[in-house]
Amino acid sequence: MNLSFIKLDINIMNDSKIKFIRKLPNGDGLIVLWIGILCLGMKASEPGIVEIGDGIPFTAETLATELDIQLNTVKLGLETFVKFKMVEIWNNKEIFIVNFEKHQALGKIRTARKKSRITSKRYRTKLKKITEVTVTPSSRYPVVTESDKTERDIELEQEKEKEKSLQQEEYDIKTKHVHTREDNFCQTCQCKINPEDSICPNCGDHI
């Protein structure tokens, strides 16, 4: 299954079998052995079978070495677990954990993984289709029509038009009374003036 965890019921210490096992000689050591067997069962290529590798089962001796538990404790534990139908010994050597898949909900995990693979495949297919769409110049630079403009866009355009209108009015006011000396004529009353004059002798405007 390639899982890095096992499920333990939070009420495991209240289980009748666990309570009885803890009262045996080195009972706490037997509980450690049981949890160790569960972990090895999850690590196996075939969940629930306690083996070193494919077709190589653990023995009491190799279990004692692997879990760092005294051999006598391992032998007592295996006898007790068989008695309580927690494990089975196949062919006098293979240790099989009873109802392992059920208690570890491996069926649900397999289903969830299958759904996840299907979802990921659909997503990759959809993403591939999107990336394969050809980008044309028109789609790269879309034309903005009047219907595409938002109210804010229209407001900004109106503000710009008002600003331009005000600037034009200010310019007209400033330039209304500006006079030049072209051809020695006053630009206000069109009378002839001397080049040295700064005020029109007829209308009195500054030249």
- Comparing 46-55, 102-111, 159-168, 180-189, which segment has the lowest mean pLDDT? 180-189
Percentage of the chain modeled with pLDDT above 70: 67
Highest mean pLDDT among 18-22, 154-158, 176-180: 18-22
145 pLDDT band, cuts 50/70/90, is low
Residue with more model confidence, 19 or 180: 19
Token digits of residue 2:
């390639």
DSSP 3-state percent helix, strand, coil across the chain (nearest 5): 55, 10, 35
CA distance 176 to 118: 79
Structural fold of domain 12-103: Arc Repressor Mutant, subunit A (1.10.10)
Residue with more model confidence, 177 or 160: 160
Does 181 have pLDDT greater than 50?
A: no
Q: Where are the domains of the chain?
A: 12-103, 159-207
Does 205 have pLDDT greater than 90?
A: no
Do 84 and 78 meet the contact criterion of CB atoms below 8 Å apart? no
Nearest-5° Cα angle at 148, 145 to 154:
90
pLDDT score of 179: 45
Burial of 58 (0-12, 13-18, 19+ CB in 10 A): buried
